[in-house]
Amino acid sequence: MLQLIPGQRIHFIGIAGAGLSAIARVLLDQGFMITGSDLNSTDLTMALEEDGAIIYRGHDASQVGEAELVVASSAIPSDHIEIMTAEMQGIPVYKRKDIMEAVMFGHYNIAIAGTHGKTTTTSMVIHILQQGEKDPSFIVGGKMGNTGKNAGIGSGNAFVIEADEYDNMFHGLRPNLEVITNIEHDHPDFFKTPHQLITSYSRFVGLLPANGMLVGCIDDSITSIFIRNRLIVNLPIISYGIENAQADWRAVNIREENNRTVYTVLHNGKPVGDVTLTVPGHHNVLNSLAALIVADHQGIDFTTAASALTTFQNTGRRFDIRGERDDVIIVDDYAHHPTEIKATIQAAKDRYPNHHIWAVWQPHTYSRVKQFMTGFIHAFDDANHVLVTPIFAAREQPMEGISSLNIVADMTHPSVQYAPSLDDAVEILRERIRPPAVVLILSAGDANRIADDYLSVAEQA
């Protein structure tokens, strides 16, 4: 195992990303000397700077400096100037998965994975453990709503981490407890086929020791296979769900009350109590159910855990209500997969049954659009109006025949429109929206700025 010793100088390439900024935060708090570079600055990197890290804007060979090791984002190519400089100087270069075992060494490691919901579930677990005075260390792929943090070192034994499957990062973990919320093909630029993704998850589950616990959603068809396989060989497993009556923990009687989602928890078929969530949707019921199981496993009683969930504020860009003006509610959401989009639209309909639902979608990466085109075409069927912006390319180059215009042409929705730019989207919304309405900005790119722009325009009007 890689040895990390406080006081070492570690350089991060791509430090503004959610994954690297969190690792940098943990190591900085443990006494390491942190430098990093990225094209952009964020509030997370600015917070690192305030606490002593050195952050460079842009990339240059000189910025590697006297680093003893370098950590590079998965998005950084091997011919990057800082990587090449480090290699020429004999400085070892690692990816996230290469250092995580050393970062989390000595803790009871709780790894929360899944194609959808892992950020919210991780944040819920952290919040409950904090409220239950367990003070965990943690890494999560977004800023938690209650604290504004995405990572930290606690005094407790638990280390809670969002286990990212991209680039097989979660293969570098050594978990004692795993949560799998669901498994569905995603990241087609890395996992070329569903089989590759499932194989990656199989290896992740295989990292558990013989006494390690798997917590899995039995409603999900693929996760249920892992559950069944562990039951056959008598390995520890706790299942949860809504639809499947065989679940060890189950949510029933789900309803909306006063802009809150309320449900009853059954444990081994017996009622335990009710849970109230500020976040809407059945998907968040499942996320919170998984968090309750982890809390129970960590010795937190149900009453304390359920009480913590009533105060839970979701991670940024997860049904994040950015503002309301003239009975128009603006919601920013990270949904960028057909399943996530459908769930977010349904959650909005459940929470605001008398509002028109506007879905403003910024497609994310050409490979994802190409792979899931059929799913995207029908993902918006339950919205009243759909607005599609240009594709956010992220790390990709354009693909022939793949464009937002083509998507709109293939959609059969009665009210769908293409917006040539984000500014055009704001203008279309300003002209066409009639209250009461909910605007869902569905984007893993930069379309979240539509929220501020629309609210600013509305205020000026």
pLDDT tens, position by position, 75-125: 899 999 999 999 999 999 999 999 999 999 999 999 999 999 999 999 999
Answer yes or no: is 279 within a domain.
Answer: yes
pLDDT band per the 50, 70, 90 thresholds, residue 351:
very high
Task: For the chain, give the mean pLDDT.
Answer: 96
Main-chain phi, psi angles of 16, to 5 degrees: -75, -15
3 is a domain residue? no
Q: Which of 283, 310, 337 is the last residue in one of the domains?
A: 310
Last residue of a domain, one of 287, 310, 333: 310
Q: With a cut of 80, say whether residue 458 has pLDDT above it.
A: no
Answer whether residue 75 is part of any domain: yes
Residue 149 is a catalytic residue: no
Taking alpha carbons only, the member of 367, 358, 373 closest to residue 393 is: 367
The answer to whether the beta carbons of residues 25 and 86 sit under 8 Å apart is: no
295 and 367 in a single domain? The answer is: no
Q: Are residues 32 and 118 in the same domain?
A: no
Q: Among 261, 276, 310, where does a domain finish? A: 310
Q: Is 35 a catalytic residue?
A: no
Q: Specify whether 183 is located in the same domain as 329.
A: no
Task: Let me know if residue 393 belongs to a domain.
Answer: yes
Q: Taking the CB of residue 65, how many other CB atoms lie within 10 A of it?
A: 15
- What is the domain extent for residue 61? 9-95
Catalytic residue, from 85, 119, 181, 223: name it.
119
Please indicate, yes or no, whether residues 91 and 110 belong to a single structural domain of this protein.
no
What are φ and ψ of residue 316, in 5° steps?
Answer: -55, 140
CA separation for the pair 355, 409 (Å, rounded): 26
162 in active site: yes
Whichever domain contains 332, its CATH number is 3.90.190.20
pLDDT digits (tens, 9 = 90+) for 3-47: 999 999 999 999 999 899 999 999 999 999 999 999 999 999 999
What are 390-412's pLDDT values in tens digits?
999 998 999 999 999 999 999 99
Examine the domain organization and report whether 365 and 422 are in the same domain.
yes
- Considering the domain architecture, whether residues 112 and 193 belong to the same structural domain is answered as yes
Based on the fold, state whether residues 185 and 223 are members of the same structural domain. Answer: yes
pLDDT tier for residue 148 given thresholds of 50, 70 and 90: very high
8 A C-beta contact, residue 309 and residue 288: yes
Strand ranges, E, within 16-139: 33-38, 54-57, 69-72, 93-94, 108-113, 137-139
Beta strands in 203-311 (DSSP E): 213-217, 237-241, 249-256, 261-267, 270-277
Whether residue 169 sits in one domain with residue 39: no
Q: Which of 82, 143, 162, 340 is catalytic?
A: 162
Residue 1 included in any domain = no
Do residues 115 and 244 both lie within one domain? yes
Q: Say which range, 309-313, 317-321, 340-344, has the weakest mean pLDDT.
A: 317-321
| Catalytic residue, candidates 118, 134, 143, 342 | 118
Structural domain tally of the chain?
Answer: 3
CATH code for the domain in which residue 34 is found: 3.40.50.720
In a domain, 175, yes or no: yes
pLDDT band at 416 (very low <50, low <70, confident <90, very high): very high
Residue 408 lies in a domain: yes
What's residue 316's pLDDT?
87
